[in-house]
């Protein structure tokens, strides 16, 4: 077994190439067998950018005006694809290829990231293999690009071979990439800021001048944050990053709410509470404006939580579990959608695919737990960063409908921990054989 691990270390570049090719082939084959739904809100925004040159009208129900419901960068990228390819079918294929490439690069970068932060590429090779079982193309959202961007950000800013600090050029490049990631998915700031704090802490140089590069990086990111928030102030009347909190909480916590998005969709609860599916909600939003509507729905959710504390606690507990072990919901053929028609065969295949992905994430989560324990016992400093991020990032997702898409931005942490455990397990077996 030691020869096998040594072989992986010597040929880690070849392993990365194989992971890239495997992820690409799996992504293409999966798309051929089961085409992915392109999504709605991001597509609507991209179409509106092309047709009217305005970042507005994200919902499929009716036009509601300028918006900050979704971050702007991915719709903007989709709008470029619309301008290049024009036909929606071609745009769909291009977005699928973009998501597939992002997943392939993610698989290939995991060994390098593992070498950088764990000092050994082998856990990253196993992490890449596990990624093949859990990845999926999500062309309607930023997810695939955000995951890849986070890995690139960590590689760019890590002070490997740089005497404990990253140079000015890495701070500038990291700041630009942090800003881009923020415009893709603002929640990644909960991953980026702890990373910068970890780099500064692990350098062990707590003098003021050691803060120069981190502050430059955060300052550049702040320019992106300020620019987007200023746009929202001009268009919406409030200096905000997003305006979807209220509608998401309101659609997730009510008398008919289930713990997962798919359950809410199949009991018609989502359709009756979210403006993307409810014409009545969209009309209310359009009349109030997004900012006032957002605040009103936050207040409504608070009132419901105070009047239904046990029900809210039950939903939150279910969502806590389902963030780490995603629900593997099987949709039976006899199930009715909105009490109108039976679920088509396509949805049955999609359901089986989602179950396989959920079980893949289950295995990764289960293997990562002893991995984190071993990392802590071996005094690997990065485990502190891992645990901080995994403590704060999921908090927002414990109180809204669960969906496996929300797990992906931090899944790479669990992948590396799971890969570390498998590597140490194989080392342990080798030591047992030597002793015997």
Residues 349-370: tens digit of each pLDDT: 777 788 899 999 999 999 999 9
Residues 196-227: tens digit of each pLDDT: 999 888 877 666 667 888 899 999 999 999 99
Determine what percent of the chain is predicted with pLDDT higher than 90: 68
Residues 370-428: tens digit of each pLDDT: 999 999 998 778 999 999 999 999 999 999 999 999 999 999 999 999 999 999 998 87
Whether pLDDT at 2 is above 80? no
Distance in angstroms (rounded) separating the CA atoms of residues 173 and 45: 28
Residues 287-310: tens digit of each pLDDT: 999 999 999 999 999 999 999 999
DSSP-H helix ranges across 185-256: 189-203, 212-236, 245-252
b (16+ CB within 10 A) / e for 41-69: bbbbbbbbbbeeeebbbbbebeebebbbb
What confidence tier does 340 reach under pLDDT thresholds 50, 70, 90?
A: very low
Q: Out of 8-17, 212-221, 277-286, 299-308, which region has the weakest mean confidence (pLDDT)?
A: 8-17
Query: 10 Å Cβ neighbour count for 362?
Result: 15
What confidence tier does 169 reach under pLDDT thresholds 50, 70, 90?
A: confident
- Into how many domains does the chain fold? 1
| H or E element that contains 89 | helix 88-118
Task: State the pLDDT at residue 417.
Answer: 97
Mean pLDDT over 150-171 rounds to 76
Task: State the pLDDT at residue 174.
Answer: 92
Query: 10 Å Cβ neighbour count for 83?
Result: 12
pTM exceeds 0.85 for this model: yes
Counted residue by residue, the chain has a size of 436
Query: Which pairs count as long-range contacts for 198-205, CB under 8 Å and 24+ apart, including other chains?
Result: 198/381, 198/382, 198/384, 198/385, 198/388, 199/157, 199/158, 199/159, 199/166, 202/164, 202/381, 202/382, 203/159, 203/164, 203/165, 204/164, 205/164, 205/165
Determine what percent of the chain is predicted with pLDDT higher than 70: 90
Whether pLDDT at 185 is above 80? yes
Q: What is the mean pLDDT of the chain?
A: 88
Whether pLDDT at 128 is above 80? yes
Task: State the pLDDT at residue 212.
Answer: 84
Residue by residue, DSSP assigns 291-352 as: HHHHHHHHHHHHHHHHH-HHHHHHHHHHHHHHHHS-------TTPEETTTEEPPHHHHHHHH
Task: State the pLDDT at residue 338.
Answer: 47
Domain holding 42, by residue range, is: 2-435
Whether pLDDT at 335 is above 60? no
């Amino acid at each position: 077994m030691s020869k096998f691990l040594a072989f992986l270390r010597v040929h880690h570049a070849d392993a990365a190439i194989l992971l890239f090719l495997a992820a690409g082939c799996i992504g293409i084959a999966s798309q051929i067998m089961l085409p992915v739904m392109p999504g709605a809100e991001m597509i609507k925004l991209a179409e509106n950018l092309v047709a009217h040159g305005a970042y507005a009208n994200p919902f499929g129900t009716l036009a509601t005006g300028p918006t900050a419901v979704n971050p702007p960068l991915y719709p903007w990228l989709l709008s470029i694809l619309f301008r290049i390819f024009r036909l929606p079918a071609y745009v769909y294929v291009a977005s699928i290829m973009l998501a597939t490439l992002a997943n392939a690069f993610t698989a290939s970068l995991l060994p390098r990231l593992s070498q950088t932060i764990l000092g050994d590429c082998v856990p990253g090779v196993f992490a890449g293999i596990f990624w093949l079982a859990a990845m999926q193309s999500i062309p309607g959202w930023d997810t695939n690009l955000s995951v890849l961007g986070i890995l690139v950000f960590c590689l760019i800013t890590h002070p490997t071979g740089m005497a404990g600090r990253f140079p000015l050029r890495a701070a500038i490049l990291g700041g630009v990439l942090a800003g881009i990631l923020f415009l893709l998915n603002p929640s990644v700031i909960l991953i980026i800021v702890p990373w910068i704090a970890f780099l500064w802490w692990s350098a062990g140089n707590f003098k003021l001048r050691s803060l120069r590069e981190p502050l430059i990086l955060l300052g550049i990111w702040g320019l992106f944050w300020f620019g987007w928030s200023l746009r929202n102030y001009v268009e919406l009347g409030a200096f905000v990053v997003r305006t979807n909190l209220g509608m998401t909480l309101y659609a997730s916590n009510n008398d008919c709410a289930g713990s997962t998005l798919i359950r809410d969709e199949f009991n018609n609860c989502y359709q009756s509470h979210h403006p993307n599916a409810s014409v009545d909600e969209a009309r209310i939003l359009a009349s109030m404006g997004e900012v006032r509507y957002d605040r009103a729905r936050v207040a409504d959710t608070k009132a419901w939580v105070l009047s239904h504390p046990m029900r809210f606690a039950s939903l939150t507990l279910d969502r806590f579990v389902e963030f780490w072990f995603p629900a593997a919901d099987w949709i039976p053929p006899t199930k009715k959608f909105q009490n109108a028609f039976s679920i088509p065969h396509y949805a049955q295949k999609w359901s089986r695919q989602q179950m396989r992905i959920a079980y893949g994430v289950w295995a990764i989560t289960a293997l990562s737990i002893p991995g984190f324990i071993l990392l802590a016992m071996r005094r690997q400093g990065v485990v502190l960063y891992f645990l901080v991020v995994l403590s704060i990032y999921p908090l927002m997702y414990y109180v809204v409908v669960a969906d496996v898409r929300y797990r992906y931005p931090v899944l790479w942490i669990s992948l590396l921990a799971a890969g570390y455990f498998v590597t140490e397990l194989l080392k342990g077996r080798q030591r047992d054989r030597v002793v015997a």
